[in-house]
Structure 1
């Protein structure tokens, strides 16, 4: 049922959703999901959100229906039910940039390169190729397949993921003017969402940079402040260095980290370099942060992997990264999408197998203990499963329960799930 939020979905039924597609086929279910997002049944709202996000943004892909959904999602993010607004803000970010885009942490989004690549695979560019293939094909099954793809391309679609993703990005870009009011929202989670979203739109930096800096000047939530500061580093120039410098003296470690990260990024991806003395202060702050536990609350950048973020930022320094800081980051595994970072840490910290029988955990060097302790207590047990072979090769327990027993923690059945 739609209550006072009915006007947010004005025009929803004017879209030919049945004629559009998403990850699971026809997008005719999208209007119902949108209405449930604005309804009063919280369980139905959560189910609708998960169904909608898994269909118009599925494993990083965007579809025909994705861009058409953006205007309605933007309205919900601004004025929808409180329970739906943060989720909707997250989905808008996902429709603009996926996880792979965000991995380019030292330079932000290269929209110029993205647009050039997408243009080379636009429907107009690829349609002649399908026409040629269809004309040359003699096998009837192949002709049928090519004809279906040709007709789909002729209708204004491209099989290239960069092209379809850019349509989602541009749809969100078109809604940014109306979303900027969220920087002054009463809910810090909403302010965080919009600050994070703005980090991926360098084309409108002239408008958003002053707003992000103004937000940090009056912000009292460290996560909002840190998110906005890193965004400034991603879309700004060395001209913003003076605005960032005072935050190196902030009381909150997360805010100091964000200012330092932003200053390093301004150095790395802009021709006008940050003043060396200020850059040295930023590197010193990141070095200190590397040797300390992650703050209780972190930003969404790099999926919240605080030490992984520091490591990647320091490695981008043109003058070389402080090796002690990299070593401090190495054993602190907080996020690891494919296990690569954990395997790297194991390779560096355990270059040869441990003797049999295993030495006592307490007798291991501190970095080795930190890594094994992090894996034993990790809230994503599949990371241990991904690197179980590497653990076994080093003579270490190859399950999370085995690691927990080795480091002296009680067992858990999570590793079996």
Structure 2
């Protein structure tokens, strides 16, 4: 007996979108935008990405509806038939994490979202009323915004084990982005193992380098990670060597191996090789910037 293929948007109609709000009001237009991300027409997909991003990730702010799109974006990214999967993962990252960069790592969600601990459904309703009906600004506004930020993060954290598989994706942009995503969620044994297992071949260099940076912030007391990163100081691609050295500096500080110091000292000699154009990692900081950060961490800032 045959079964119907599962759609990434199964369950979409079970969400009461009309009762949720995004940056511009009712979220009843979100289902259509999610569907359009699967369109065969590239321009329609581009427009949907821009509109959906503007609705649920508006200038870095998350909204009441934001957490509800996270599972659907994850399902789309999981499906190899989805077009522009890297763009979907990029949007997922934006909704789950906002504008956070490596300065927020290692990430401590309990501290980051503490302001939202006492937010109630009444507080949310009051803020929504103010946002869309221009009443006097309520005192809970900032805390409610933090709660929406938290809810989007927690929606992703609850299914972050799904991101682990993407580190071995044949789309190298997806693999590199997944490796960066994993830096923000609890370091499960499975996630750490996958980040360590990515090969250092030229074909996988972007995912390997991105995984190195994530490992700099995860499981700080795990010596097997230090051993893997130390071995990668001799990798065939300088970007992989450098990210391994940066991660070791973050993890070990002044105890970084001499080979790591040597790689950091050479970074300026490889500027063309590790530029954002030549080595486009899904991290906000440039590789030269990471090298400077590493030197600072070991007390050798230029």
Change over 3 Å in CA distance of 1:234–1:73 after alignment to 2: same
Give a deviation string over 1:308-366, Cα, whole Å, max 9, x none.
2222332233xx1243xxxxxxxxxxxxxxxxxxxxxxxxxxxxxxxxxxxxxxxxxxx
CA distance 1:175–1:304, change in 2 (3 Å): same
Identify which range, 56-65 or 181-190, moves more after superposition: 181-190
Give, in whole Å, the separation in 2 of the partners of 1:307 and 1:224.
18
Q: Does 1:282 align with 2:266?
A: no
| Equivalent-residue separation in structure 1 for 2:171 and 2:256 (angstroms) | 37
Q: Residue deviations 1:218-256, cap 9 Å, x none?
A: 783211110011111121324221111011011111000
Cα pair distance change 1:198/1:316, threshold 3 Å: same
Tell me the TM-score normalized by structure 2: 0.84
1 CA distance for matches of 2:256 and 2:21?
54
Other structure's SS at 2:106 match: coil
Shift of 1:169: 0.8
Partner of 1:212: 195
Residue-by-residue CA offset, 1:123-156 (whole Å, 9 max, x unaligned)? 37x95xx8xxxxxxxxxxxxx935x859xx7xxx
Q: What stretches of structure 1 move > 6 A for 4+ residues in a row?
A: none
CA contact (8 A) 1:115 1:166 kept: yes
CA distance in 1, matches of 2:244, 2:37: 36
Aligned to 2:12: 12
Residues 1:306 and 2:287 aligned together: yes
Give the one of 294, 297, 315 matched to 2:279. Answer: 297
Distance 1:283 1:112, change over 3 A: farther
Q: 3-state DSSP class of the match of 1:311? A: helix
Query: Normalising to structure 1: TM-score of the pair?
Result: 0.62
Q: Deviations over 1:164-202 (max 9, x none)?
A: 21111111111222333222322212211211111111x
Larger Rg: 1
CA distance in 2, matches of 1:17, 1:96: 19
Distance (whole Å) between structure 1 residues aligned to residue 269 and residue 202 of structure 2: 27
Flag structure 2 segments of 5+ consecutive residues without an equivalent.
127-133
The secondary structure found in structure 2 opposite 1:209 is helix
- Over residues 384-417 of structure 1, what are the superposed CA-to-partner deviations in whole Å (9 max), with x where a residue is unaligned? xxxxxxxxxxxxxxxxxxxxxxxxxxxxxxxxxx
Q: Deviations over 1:14-42 (max 9, x none)?
A: 21111111112111110000111112122
| CA displacement at 1:96 relative to structure 2 | 2.0
Give me the whole-angstrom Cα distance separating, in 1, the residues matched to 2:54 and 2:285: 22
Higher helix share: 1
> Cα gap change, 1:284/1:322 in structure 2, threshold over 3 Å: closer, same or farther?
farther
Say yes or no: does 1:261 pair with 2:243.
no
